[in-house]
Amino acid sequence: MSYKVLTLDEKEEWSKLLEKLPVDQQDIYYTPDYYELYEKNGDGKAICFVFEKNDDIALYPFLMNSVNNLGYDLDDEYFDIQGAYGYNGVIASSYNISFRKNFYASFRQYCLDHKTIAEFDRYNPINGNHLFSETFVELFKNRQTVVLNLDQSYEDIWTSQYSSKNRNMIRKGSKTLACKINEGKENIENFKKMYLYTMNRIRANDYYYFQEEFFENIITILSNKCFLFTASDNNTKEVMGALLLLIYKNKAHYFLSARSELCKNNSVNNYLLDCAIKFAQKKKCTVFHFGGGNSLDHSDPLLKFKKSFSKDIFDFYISKNIIFPKIYETVCNIWEERNPGKPQHFKNYLLKYHE
């Protein structure tokens, strides 16, 4: 029974260990490439905690940040950890209770040794890895996500999964729009402009205003795993909307999307997602993950839109783990004193002192 810690300096070993896991556990969100994207975005130092016992293995990639560097004068240097944007948590070859218990004993000791005050995770609904952490951390059902089974024919998807309204929107889009798939840097500048406009339009959280280099890094670092779909107006040839699709092994994930300020065509998102689904099937994917809505509300508009593509709904869980309660409370109290207008809004955020 042993553990080791890898950084991006050991990308090759990290990748090889990921390949040792069952395919159902593997996903793009655990690759060193994906974590490199967020380390370069300034989200923290990418680390992969590796635990092995007998023939079983567990991987836990995360981003580590110094709490002190956020502006807190403490008695020692403390850290916190969270997964990269998207889905994270532990993935493993075994969910045996004894193996899980040994993993968490080793990981807790690691956190104590490295003065890690808190840990936040967003579990992957596709591989159900919240079950690995069940009983060892407190899980919270955060929302629902929509998943499409690509093992069925496209004809069956069209007739039995898509809603009638969605089919009509796709038909409308196919008459007025043309889809192009870019596997390189072409059109990424267009996407960046549309994405910024979209974030402004929906008044997104500050975090989603990614750094300037983020989009170039998506295309270069995830060069063979990320695909840019653009929809152009047949008459004007202007790009009306775009989306980024992530593909790794048999899984496709709807990642980011954007619309042009010129776009008056309300079918562009339906049309682009239909194009992406067809493409994912050609790439031999068996799962297309849309993600969820903006809340637990079953009538959430974004969730309702995504459900128009599939009837399969999965639960999405998060966990919040406080390892050094006194230090954590001290940091949160300092943050609340400095930000009198924020505590109510961020009261349920574990790492609210990052805001």
Nearest one of 150, 142, 345, 179 to 267, comparing CA atoms: 179
CATH of the domain at 8: 3.40.630
> β-pairing, 116-122 with 79-82?
parallel
The CA-to-CA distance between both ends of the chain, in Å, stands at 38
Contacts of residues 61-64 at CB distance under 8 Å and 24 or more positions apart, as own/partner, are 61/14, 61/30, 61/32, 61/35, 61/88, 62/88, 62/119, 62/121, 63/35, 63/38, 63/39, 64/114, 64/116
State how far the Cα of 175 lies from the Cα of 238, in Å rounded to an integer: 15
Residue 137: strand pairing partners: 134
Q: Are residues 72 and 156 in the same domain?
A: no
User: What does each of the 355 residues of the chain score in pLDDT, given as a tens digit?
Assistant: 589 999 999 999 999 999 999 999 999 999 999 999 999 999 999 999 999 999 999 999 999 999 999 999 999 999 999 999 999 999 999 999 999 999 999 999 999 999 999 999 999 999 999 999 999 999 999 999 999 999 999 999 999 999 999 999 999 999 999 999 986 566 788 888 888 888 888 888 888 888 878 988 998 899 889 999 999 999 999 889 999 999 999 999 999 999 888 877 789 999 999 999 999 999 999 999 999 988 778 788 999 999 999 999 999 999 999 999 999 999 999 999 999 988 888 888 999 999 8
Residues 13 and 91 in one domain: yes
Report pLDDT for 185. Answer: 64
**170 lies in the same domain as 118:** no
> Model-level pTM?
0.94
Domain that holds residue 153: 146-315
**296 shares its domain with 161:** yes
Q: Does residue 291 share a domain with residue 192?
A: yes
Q: Do 329 and 283 have their domain in common?
A: no
What the block records as the tokens of 342 is: 């924020």
- Residue 320: its pLDDT value, please? 96
Residue 156 belongs to domain with CATH number: 3.40.630.30
Which residue is it, tokens 């059902």? 141
Same domain, 44 and 87: yes
Q: What is the pLDDT of residue 212?
A: 79
Look at residue 17 in the predicted model and tell me its pLDDT: 98
Cβ 233 vs Cβ 177: under 8 Å: yes
Judge if 348 and 280 occupy the same domain.
Answer: no
Residues 174 and 305 in one domain: yes
User: What's the confidence (pLDDT) of residue 136?
Assistant: 96
DSSP conformational letter for 161: I
Give yes or no: residues 101 and 44 share one domain: yes
User: Which residue(s) pair with 46 in the sheet?
Assistant: 63
Q: Where are the beta strands (DSSP E) in the chain?
A: 2-6, 45-53, 56-66, 79-82, 91-92, 116-122, 139-149, 177-182, 226-233, 239-248, 251-259, 287-292, 312-322
3-state class of 340 per DSSP?
Answer: coil
| Confidence (pLDDT) at 265 | 74
Q: Same structural domain for residues 156 and 256?
A: yes
Residues present in the chain in total:
355
Regarding whether 269 and 153 lie in a shared domain, the answer is yes
Q: Please tell me the total count of domains within the chain.
A: 2
